[in-house]
Amino acid sequence: MKRVIVPFFIAHQGCPHQCVFCDQRAITGRDGELPQPAELLRTIEAWRSSSGGGAVEVAFYGGTFTALSRRQQETLLQPLQPLLASGRVSAVRLSTRPDAVDAANADFLRAAGVSLVELGVQSMDDAVLAAAGRGHTAAATIAAFATLRAAGLQVGAQLMPGLPGESIAGAIGSFRRVVALKPNLLRIYPAVVLKGTALATLYQQGSYQPLSLDTAVNLCKIMLHDAARAAVPVIRAGLQPTEDLAAGSAVLAGPCHPAFRQLAEGERWYDLLQILAVRFDSGARLVLQVPPARIADVVGQKRRNIIRLDTFSGRTVAVVTADHSLPAGAIRISDSSRSISGDILRDLTYREDF
């Protein structure tokens, strides 16, 4: 059964720095005032009722939760204690900065029922962090992981490839350093230039160029693939479309796309199709059998993968069918004379120089 997460947005609350890329109101669609206890309880109950009355998770997104005063943290967490005790709330998660974590606060969070803390890592390159105005180093991330784990908390990480001064190889290097820390989950947000930010000024001055959509997609396909091979779930890739983002009123430049994750996943499957299709004769008419949940990724947006495979390899996909017996990463390709099977994790490997 899919988990139901009740989100509360506290954009900018507790943040000690203004990072060059940040406009959390545009990203979250909320102004970020701290919710009051009555609002917390009312909202949680509404979500429980609409989802069948079962247990829900509570998440505090945005802001720097552990940089709030202890009294503010208690105001947000204390109303949840009876719900946690009764099982109506199954877990609590929140996000913060790596340099806003210490042992005392980690222990407090654990005692208050928090199970997972997401860290705004963004990069593991100190020069990139400095250029972004983050105010912390990669060492703070490593220390925060250790502190949170010592308190018995799960740890997530948020990465932002494409920040000023970061190369493609550097972004992949940061990603791999974070994966080596064995996070419980990852979010990948390629840097987007939001209007009114310091990054927008740099872009307008010509001193910053964001990743193109194609470059960001190809970068993230590698990250998604390597994360899957390391068994680290990526729960989001690309910004979640808010009303402002969807309308384009907040975005000045950069790789913002409402289906960014699907684009990146589609590129992984296209790369696997290329590897497997060349085993068939040129001009072959292929039948693809794939797990039902992967049909859209295999076909690609607007049948992009099917069209490209025909155009560039000379092999035509005649039909794509769902096969419930296939594991999530498997595919079977057949023509009139033979059939071969492939697996995206086993048969596909990426280098950095795409």
In tens, the pLDDT along 152-209 reads: 999 999 999 999 999 999 999 999 999 999 999 999 999 999 999 999 999 999 999 9
Same domain, 130 and 51: yes
Structure tokens at 12: 């900018």
CATH number of domain containing 224: 3.20.20.70
Task: Note the pLDDT of residue 2.
Answer: 75
Q: How many domains does the chain have?
A: 2
Same domain, 114 and 237: yes
Domain range for 134:
5-258
Task: Note the pLDDT of residue 29.
Answer: 47
Same domain, 58 and 164: yes
Task: Note the pLDDT of residue 296.
Answer: 96
Residue 147 lies in a domain: yes
Q: Is the pTM value of this prediction over 0.75?
A: yes
334: amino acid identity, one letter: S
Nearest residue to 289 via CA among 337, 325, 264: 325
Summarize pLDDT for 21-30 with one digit per residue, the tens: 887 555 544 4
Residue 352 lies in a domain: no
Same domain, 116 and 164: yes
Same domain, 219 and 288: no
Residues of the chain with pLDDT under 50: 28-30
Residue 353 lies in a domain: no
Helix and strand element counts for the chain (H, E): 15, 13
C-alpha to C-alpha distance for 159 and 181, rounded to whole angstroms: 13
241 and 215 Cβ atoms separated by less than 8 Å: no
Residue 354 lies in a domain: no
Same domain, 278 and 251: no
Same domain, 210 and 158: yes
301 and 295 Cβ atoms separated by less than 8 Å: no
Structure tokens at 307: 């069209």
Nearest residue to 294 via CA among 335, 343, 334: 343
- Rounded to 10°, the helix 103-111/138-150 angle is 40
| Residue whose tokens read 């545009």 | 26
DSSP 23: -
